[in-house]
Amino acid sequence: MRPLASAEAVQQVAQTGATAFAVELMPRTTRAQSMDALSSMASIAGYKAVIAVADALPRIFPMMTTAAGTITPSRVLVIGAGVAGLQAIATAKRLGAVVSAYDVRPAVKEQVQSLGGRFVELPLETGDAQDARGYAKAQDEAFYAKQRELLGKVIAENDAVITTAVVPGKRAPVLVTEAMAKGMAPGSVILDLAAERGGNCELTRPGETVVVQGITVIGPLNLAGTAPYHSSQVYARNLTSFLTNLVKDGQVRPAESDDIIRDTLLTQGGEVVNMRVREMLGLPTAVVSGQ
């Protein structure tokens, strides 16, 4: 069992003849929640993202009354209200920031508001923004261009921006251009949780922190790894739940017997057998044994 690191890695695993599973392919169903490693890691990353921003920002998050008067709270914008984004909203709110969030999926508005955030609504057509699994769908460049135009004004009003927008199997969309970033006040911070997929910000350098005209842009590659104790703990629980479901009476259950096993089965018999991954790799989507 190994992560879907790259097309080359998947092909190499297949060539060994191993039967391999990828927890990244876990279906988003109630029964699979205890096995959802992506959500576990995203939740920790969302929390750590806020801590990193709070440390880098030359302001404090909460409103505070001092002998010298009242300090106004920092304003934080979270782009992308998936698991990481929602955790970032909750954490920033607990630290006292004024939090707003934007997501292309209108369905998450209620979740954002339940955490105390303000949902940013842009006049865009978003009827086809979410797939059947609840993930954001890739849009055309005209949509992203209009989105960037409207988001620019919102970003300029905030002291910090945390971006989390990714599309499974694709390069992360650029939502924050260089011009938009430079429109923020000096000292502002952008943390790009999509850095590993290329980044949501045009200035992001994966694995680096850069400062451009007074704007700090942080591009972490593995924020969950900076909390190894709890990241390892929850990942182990995810895998234990998965293996408990996978094996019955000492035998690996066949893929056709369970949707979780079927959806996470990656390679078998020397072939990549997962239909979604075959499509991503540009392989023929013929019916393969086990699917």
DSSP letter, residue 95: T
Distance CA 203, CA 218 (A): 9
Task: Tell me how crowded residue 69 is: count the other CB atoms within 10 A of its CB.
Answer: 8
CA dihedral over 136, 141, 144, 150, signed as positive or negative: negative
Q: How far apart are CA 189 and CA 203, in angstroms?
A: 12
Indicate the SS3 state at residue 212. strand
H-helix or E-strand containing 13?
helix 7-15
Active site residues: 28, 33, 36, 39, 135
Q: What are the tokens at 69?
A: 């008067």
Indicate the DSSP class of residue 222: -
Q: What is the DSSP letter of 73?
A: P
